[in-house]
C-alpha cells in the first residue's frame, strides 16, 4: 500500500502544480487555457483519491464520473459533483478551434468563466488533500 499512497501523492502534487499554472494563466488573460487547466486540476485531484483508495490506474477523464465512482468510499458531496460537471465542460472546447462553431477557444472563454473554473479546481484540491490526510 505504501507505493499506492506514493502514487496518490504524485497525482496530488501535479494537480497542485497545475493549479499554480492556472493562476498564472488567469493573470496573463489566457482564459481558455485557465479553464482547461482547471479541468485538469480537478481530474488529477480526484485521480489522486482513487489511487489512494485502490492503488489502481483510473480510466476516464470526466471529473464528474470519477467522483461518482468514489462516492460511497470518499464522501463526495453534491457540491463536488456539480463542480465536477462544470469542469468537464472545459475539457475539449478549450483546446480545439473546431470544437465550437465559428469561434476559437481564445475568443470564447471569459475571465468570469476562468475564475469560476479555478475556484472549482481549488475546491477539488482541498477535498482531495483532506481525503489523503484522513485515509479516505
**CB 88, CB 64: distance < 8 Å:** yes
How many domains are contained in the chain? 1
Tallying the residues shown for the chain, one arrives at 136
Determine the structural domain holding residue 122 and report its residue range.
Answer: 2-134
Quick one: which of 110, 130, 121, 132 has its CA closest to 17? 121
pLDDT digits (tens, 9 = 90+) for 100-116: 999 999 999 999 999 99
For the domain that residue 48 is a member of, what is the CATH number?
1.20.120.330
pLDDT digits (tens, 9 = 90+) for 29-72: 999 999 999 999 999 999 999 999 988 778 889 999 999 999 77
pLDDT digits (tens, 9 = 90+) for 60-75: 899 999 999 997 788 8
Amino acid at each position: 500500500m505504501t507505493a499506492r499512497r506514493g502514487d496518490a501523492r504524485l497525482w496530488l502534487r501535479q494537480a497542485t502544480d497545475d493549479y499554480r499554472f492556472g493562476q498564472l494563466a488567469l493573470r496573463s488573460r489566457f482564459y481558455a487555457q485557465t479553464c482547461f487547466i482547471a479541468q485538469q486540476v480537478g481530474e488529477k485531484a480526484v485521480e489522486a483519491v482513487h489511487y489512494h483508495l485502490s492503488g489502481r490506474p483510473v480510466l476516464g477523464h470526466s471529473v464528474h464520473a470519477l467522483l461518482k465512482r468514489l462516492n460511497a468510499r470518499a464522501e463526495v458531496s453534491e457540491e463536488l459533483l456539480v463542480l465536477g460537471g462544470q469542469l468537464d465542460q472545459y475539457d475539449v472546447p478549450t483546446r480545439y478551434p473546431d470544437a465550437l462553431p465559428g469561434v476559437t477557444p481564445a475568443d470564447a472563454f471569459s475571465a468570469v468563466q476562468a475564475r469560476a473554473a479555478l475556484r472549482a479546481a481549488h475546491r477539488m484540491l482541498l477535498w482531495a488533500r483532506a481525503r489523503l490526510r484522513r485515509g479516505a
